């Protein structure tokens, strides 16, 4: 999977979920239709990585916060739980997870770790590498997010 912010044929076999109706979205009183806020997203995984892509349509993109507070603006928040030991599936562990925020801050893609299931990673900006790649770009009123997270980045 090439993470380049371009949704291409690599995603053709991934199921897509589209939220483009007020009944499927947070109850926003002033929602004016799909151009005001809607999203189409897909997820895939293999033994090494979790992949996520989203196209968010919003006529009023707003991200004025720094990384620790980007959740207050337009961004993607993911909670990833790696049950590699099978303890949660066996009901022998709580569903703790790693929280990651992916945003377009100051025109640049930024990843911020909000939570770590094992507390081995602090809350901080996460440097991208071969185990965590994120691209984000804007095209008219769409913001396109493409994410690849290695399972080793989760507890």
Q: pLDDT tens digits for 31-49?
A: 777 777 888 999 999 988 9
105-118 tens-digit pLDDT: 888 888 888 877 66
| Residue 8 pLDDT exceeds 70 | yes
3-state secondary structure of 80: strand
106/54: higher pLDDT:
54
Digit-coded pLDDT (tens) for 70-101: 888 888 888 877 666 666 677 776 666 678 88
Whole-structure pTM over 0.85, yes or no? Answer: no
What's the gap between Cα 107 and its chain centre?
17
**Residue 125: what pLDDT?**
79
All residues at 6 or more sequence positions from 50 whose CB lies less than 8 Å from its CB, including other chains: 43, 44, 80, 147, 148, 149, 151
Joined tokens for residue 47: 């033994």
Q: Look at residue 44 in the predicted model and tell me its pLDDT.
A: 93
Using alpha carbons, list the distances in angstroms from residue 10 to 3, 4, 46, 128, 133.
10, 11, 13, 21, 16
Cβ atoms of 95 and 87 closer than 8 Å: no
Instruction: Kindly state the percentage of the chain with pLDDT values over 70.
Output: 80
Q: Give the count of beta carbons closer than 10 Å to the beta carbon of residue 9.
A: 6
């Amino acid at each position: 999977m090439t993470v380049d912010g371009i949704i291409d044929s690599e995603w053709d076999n991934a199921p897509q979920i589209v939220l483009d109706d007020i009944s499927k979205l947070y109850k926003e009183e002033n929602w004016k239709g799909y151009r005001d806020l809607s999203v189409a997203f897909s997820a895939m995984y293999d033994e090494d990585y979790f992949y996520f892509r989203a196209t968010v349509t919003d006529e009023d993109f707003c991200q004025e916060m720094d990384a620790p507070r980007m959740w207050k603006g337009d961004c993607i928040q993911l909670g990833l739980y790696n049950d590699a030991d099978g303890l949660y599936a066996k009901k022998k562990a709580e569903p703790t997870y790693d929280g990651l925020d992916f945003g377009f801050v100051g025109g640049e893609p930024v990843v911020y770790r909000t939570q770590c299931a094992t507390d081995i990673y602090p809350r901080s900006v996460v440097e991208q590498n071969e185990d965590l790649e994120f691209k984000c770009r804007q095209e008219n009123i769409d913001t396109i997010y493409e994410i690849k997270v290695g399972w080793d980045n989760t507890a």
